[in-house]
Each structure stands twice: as structure tokens, then as C-alpha cells.
Structure 1
Amino acid sequence: MSDPIFSLTDASLRLDGNAGPVDILHGISLTVAAGESVGLIGPSGSGKSSLLMVMGGLEQATGGQVVSMGHDLTAMDEDALARFRRDRMGIVFQSFHLIPTMTALENVATPLELAGHRDAFDRAAAALADVGLAQRAGHYPSQLSGGEQQRVALARATATRPKILLADEPTGNLDSATGATIMDLLFDLRDRHGATLILVTHDAALAERCDRIVSLRDGRLA
């Protein structure tokens, strides 16, 4: 049996707030197999996005251990975490986080260039074609609709063929029809590349498209 993509053991997260330390996650133990898709659900403030951030090394657990692909994320410094994400992860947020002064093609090519791919622009063009935006490659984010911007974000997240896809409410800023199209694309790209998908969503119907649903409440597994 292959090693799990994620193995969390008693992981916790405490952050400093205006009124003092706030406990966000409490003793999360969770294992995710390679190629599995997991929907993270729960009410607002339950810790879904925080758990995704910990799994992606965007926040470091303040207790317990988070291991991904055999690497202990809790033992890495910021530079090592950034390299790990660059080489193994694709992340899609509710907000598109595109660079406004770059074209769609440049936005997708940038992480490929940072990863050392000499054919970054060719691969970026192919990734945009995969999400139906071949004709919009030269447009800037301000010239694209919300759905088109999220397609660019999807292309950017998957162009490096990551082993892990993390998606945090990727349809939250889109109308229902556009959101459904984006989710179809996300699952299609995930299937095509054989990636492990962790999806944060408040939509139970979306979560049910995953292999497994994990529910959180008050920072604990429900």
C-alpha cells in the first residue's frame, strides 16, 4: 500500500487575535490516500479553510504533526514550504489572485517558470486550452469575466501537473451556472492528472461528488 498523501496527527492551530490567542483547530487526525478526493464541509467558522491552509503549508500547525508525501510540513521553514507547494501542489481560492498587470498566459506561465520549466509558455498555453480559454490568452484579468478569471486560476493551479489540488470555495464568487461549469472543469482536470483533491465547500451537493466527506464543527472533526 502506498504512503498516504496526507497524514495529520493531533494537529492543532492557535493564532493570535486582538483579544489574545484563539484556538482554531483542535487535535485533527486525518489520513488522505493518493488520488482520493475529499470534501471538507461544516458551518462558517468551523475551521474548514484553516485546515486546508495547514494541509497546504500556508499556515503551520502549532501542535501535532502534518505530513505530506513523506515530508513533515511542521518541521519546514517558509522557504522549504514554498518550494514544496511549488513542486507538488496546485491551489485555487475563492478570490482568483491573478496578477493584474499580467495577461492570462503570463499568469499561468509564471509558476512554471519559477519551477524551472523551459517550455513554460507552451505549457501555459496548453493549460489555458484545457479550460477553454485559448482565445483569451492575451487578455488581462480586468478584461475577463469572473468565470474566466477562475478558469485562468484553474489553469495556473494545474499547469504544473501537481500531485495535490487544494480548492477553497472555488465557486464562492460566481453565479450558480458559472460555478457548476468551474466545478466540472476542476473534477475533469483532477481526473485527467490523477491528483489528490481537497475541496472546501459549503455546498453539500458539491461535497458529494468527492470520494469522501469530512465534516468539521468548532475546529474538530464532527
Structure 2
Amino acid sequence: MPDPVLSLQDVTLSLRGNAGDVEILHGISLNVAKGESLGLIGPSGSGKSSLLMIMGGLERATRGTVSALGQDLTSMNEDGLARFRRDHMGVVFQSFHLIPTMTALENVATPLELAGHPDAFARAAQELEAVGLAHRADHYPAQMSGGEQQRVALARALAPRPDILLADEPTGNLDGVNGQAIMDLIFGLSEKHDATLVLVTHAPELAARCDSIIRLNDGLVDTNQQAAE
């Protein structure tokens, strides 16, 4: 079996609260293969988003190891993690996180410019076309609908051709029609670019589109649900 693109071994996450440390994740171990799509499901507060943030190096595990593309994320400093994400990961959040003073084209081009791509704006224009927003390239986020802003955020995440795409409730702020369109784009474009996809969702019908599903309950993998895979 080839080496996994993402590998978590005995990962624990504790966060300090008013009453002391609270353990969010309890010894999570999992592997995600190249090109695989993994759905993370479970009730609110089960640790899905925290697990995704650890996979992306946006949150540090309290204990355990996290590897991506053979690199140990737990041993990297913040600068190293930022460079790794820039070069290998795309992240799509429920909140769009677009820069309000930049046009759609500039928002998509920014990570490409930071990565030193000489054709940043040309590739950004191609990505906007791929998500059906070529006609919105010169518009600012406030001039676009929620569905359009999420498509810009998706184009921005995929423009650098990431090896790993992490999506945290990407349809949570959208209506049914726009949500369906975004998910079609996420699955279609990640497959086109052979990206490994990890998707956090509350929607069983979205999780069912993934190659495999992991259900979390109270920070633990629910082994009683593994038949759902």
C-alpha cells in the first residue's frame, strides 16, 4: 500500500478553558490515501473542525503526530507550517474569508503571487472561469452573493493546485441550490486535479459522496459507525 497523504497517530487536543484544560480529541489515528475523499461527520461539538484544523497545521496537537506528504507537521514551526500550506494545501471555510478590498481576481491571485507564480493573474482568471465566475472577476466581495463568494473562495483554494483540499462546512452559509453547486464543484475540481479531499459536513448526503466516512462522537472515532463507510 502506498504511503498515506495524511496520517494521524494517537492525536490528542486539549484546550484551556475557564475551568482548566478541556480535552477536545482523544487519541485519534487515521490515514488518508492520495486522491481519496474523506467525510468527517458527527454532532456539533464532536471535534470535526478541530480535527480538520490539526490536519492543516492550523491547530497544534497536544500529543501525537501528524504527517502530510511524508512531512512531520508536529515538528514544524509556524513559518514552516505556513509555507507547507502555501505549497501543498487549500482550505475552504464556512465563512468565505475573502479580502473585502480586493476584487475576485485579486483574491484568487494573491496566494499564487505569494508562492511566486509568474502567471498568477492568468491562472486566477482560469480558476474563476472554472467556477463560472469569469464575468465577476472585477467585482468586490460585497458586490457578490454568498454562493458567488464561496465559489471565489474555492477558486482561491484550488488555484495553487494543492495536493490536499480541506473543506470545513463549505455549504453551511448557503441555500440548497448554491450548496449543491459548490459541492459539485468541490468534488469535480478535486478529482480533476487529483487532490486528496477532507470534508467536514453535517449533511449525510454530502458525506455519502465521499470514498470513506469517519464519524466522531465526543472527540473519539465512533467505531460503531464504520460500517457507514
TM tier, shorter chain? over 0.9
Please name the residue that 1:207 is paired with: 207
Deviation at 1:16, TM superposition (A): 1.2
SS at match of 1:14: strand
Please name the residue that 2:94 is paired with: 94
CA distance in 2, matches of 1:25, 1:198: 17
Please name the residue that 1:158 is paired with: 158
State the one-letter code of the partner of 1:8.
L
CA distance in 2, matches of 1:17, 1:105: 40
CA distance in 2, matches of 1:18, 1:52: 24
1:93-139 CA distance string (max 9 Å, x none): 00000000000000000000000101000000000000000000000
* Equivalences for residues 38-187 of structure 1 within 5 A: 38-187=38-187
SS at match of 1:23: strand
CA distance in 1, matches of 2:16, 2:76: 21
CA distance in 1, matches of 2:189, 2:67: 25
Deviation at 1:20, TM superposition (A): 1.5
Structure 1 residues not aligned, in runs of 5+ = none
Q: How many residues align?
A: 222
CA distance in 2, matches of 1:28, 1:44: 18
CA distance in 2, matches of 1:184, 1:104: 20
Once the two structures are overlaid, the 10-residue window that deviates more, 117-126 or 18-27, is: 18-27
TM-score (norm 2): 0.96
Is 1:19 equivalent to 2:19 in the alignment?
yes
CA distance in 2, matches of 1:180, 1:37: 17
CA distance in 2, matches of 1:19, 1:150: 37
What is the alpha-carbon root mean square deviation over aligned residues? Answer: 0.6
Structure 2 residues not aligned, in runs of 5+ = 223-229
State the one-letter code of the partner of 1:34.
K
Deviation at 1:3, TM superposition (A): 1.4
